Amino acid sequence: MKLHSCSGRCLAAILFLLVLVPVASPAGEFKVVASIRPVHSILAALMQGVESPVLLLDGDETPYGYQLSEAQKKQLQEANLVVWVGPELEAFLVEPLRQELPDRHVVALLDRPALKVLPDRERDDRLDPFFWLDSRNGLMMIDELTRVLMAADPGRAHLYRRNRDKVFAQAAEMDRMLEYGYRGMKGGAVILYYDTQQYFEQAYALKTRMVLSPLPPQPVDAVRLLQARAAIRDGQVNCLLTEKGLPTPELELLTSGTGINVGELDSFGLGLEPGPQLYDQLMRHNTDVIRKCVNAEQPILEAAAAQAGAADELQPGETIGGRFMLTDHNGRLVTEEDLLGHYSLLYFGYTYCPDICPTSLQTMSLALDQLGPLADRIQPYFITIDPERDTVEKMAKYVPFFNDRLIGLVGSKAMTEKLAKEYRVRYEKVVEEGGDPELYLMDHTASVYLIGPDGRFITKFAHGITPQAMAERLREYLQ
């Protein structure tokens, strides 16, 4: 579910002319400008064989305090398409983009409804700009920018569509690696020098004890500095994460004599070569920095990543599942035969899930609402992976909160394991060290499966997709 404060954004949408009608000759020159390296990387990958996009911040600079040169201002004026994050990150672009120029299409990614955008943790009227640090947003950004390029340069739409499939496959592989490979890193708690990792925290359960400074130029508060020093001294954290390119004037005062691990993230990709591979390299680099900083055991991570790599990736048209007998939340028997003759949306989760499951079920419900009459051709199911606690009675109270058509399914432990294996769903019980064994969590696959009327797999929707984006993709399959 996208959390978005509209205060000031509607004005911004008008002010920055985010949706202009593009003009680009099918065979003519098509000039694209990107503000920062992660965005430029995905555009460069999608535009292979077409043109090379221009990168504004092509040195070791960050957006904070940056000033455009006259040559860069001219590049903006000559561009057919400009892609930036938004005023929360690139304040230096606000004034240049106020100018209304013909033949220019300007896209602020923070305003794209398909992306999962979080509010700033300290100011409700601002958005957190580091959305690309959730690899699911990376996948959605690939699709968003593909649509933008096809609309702005329709004569080369077939090239953008072809490149999209290749780029998406690589990004999906990286996303699976992070999903499985990060599990071994959950034991450490960190202090963030700057608040750049909210998306990574939510996606991969990074435990952040404290944030010293929201972002430059705001200095570290003296009280917060003392609190951080005390947390380090008392052993509450074992890792301090800084950001490449951002100043750390209090670092020595904070760490001197403590022995705490310090890791330097590179969320802007300043230490990487700009180009199509930068985004993948950036995400892997940051993950490796965090792993080393929290003293995660490499064999655990390698085994988890290997598990992700060894998992058979589902292909469209593949038959999955098998024979089963489950009980729905009304006490009726449900078998594999009940999944035939209509499209099915399957989500595996559990009722005690604190955040991911409710968000995914709400997304699925809202997407169905947006489909209107087309939704009658789809039956949504919520299949528990926690049969020890999720009884029929519990499911009967839980599923009506989301959608009247949602069916909750419960099976025995053995049947649940069999069904999960057949649908290639992974889950495991997680008990906090020293915690109550009855208050466990379930670490699990969070995708939504679309199954055809013949029982064959069609596609998966990654966790974090917006209801609008899910509805759009479902409509493509139904029409």
CA distance 360 to 341: 24
Phi, psi of 267 (to 5 degrees): -70, -15
Contact 69, 93 (CB under 8 A): no
Please state, as a whole number, how many other Cβ atoms lie within 10 Å of the Cβ of residue 245: 20
Residue closest to 373 by CA, chosen among 301, 472, 475, 476 = 475
353 is in an annotated binding site: yes
444 is in an annotated binding site: yes
Please state, as a whole number, how many other Cβ atoms lie within 10 Å of the Cβ of residue 463: 21
Residue closest to 390 by CA, chosen among 463, 321, 329 = 329
CA distance 386 to 381: 15
SS3 content of the chain, % helix, strand, coil (to 5): 40, 15, 40
CA distance 148 to 55: 18
359, 364, 366, 372: CA torsion to nearest 10: 180
Q: E-strand spans in 214-252?
A: 239-243
Joined tokens for residue 169:
């496959």
Please state, as a whole number, how many other Cβ atoms lie within 10 Å of the Cβ of residue 150: 18
Using DSSP's 3-state secondary structure scheme, residue 444 falls into: strand
Contact 314, 320 (CB under 8 A): yes
**Cα separation values, 270 from 240, 275, 279, 312, Å:** 20, 12, 11, 35
| Residue 437 CA from chain centroid, whole number | 31
- Residue 252 one-letter amino acid: E
Using DSSP's 3-state secondary structure scheme, residue 30 falls into: coil
Q: Residues annotated as binding site for Cu cation? A: 353, 357, 444
Provide the annotated binding site. Answer: 353, 357, 444
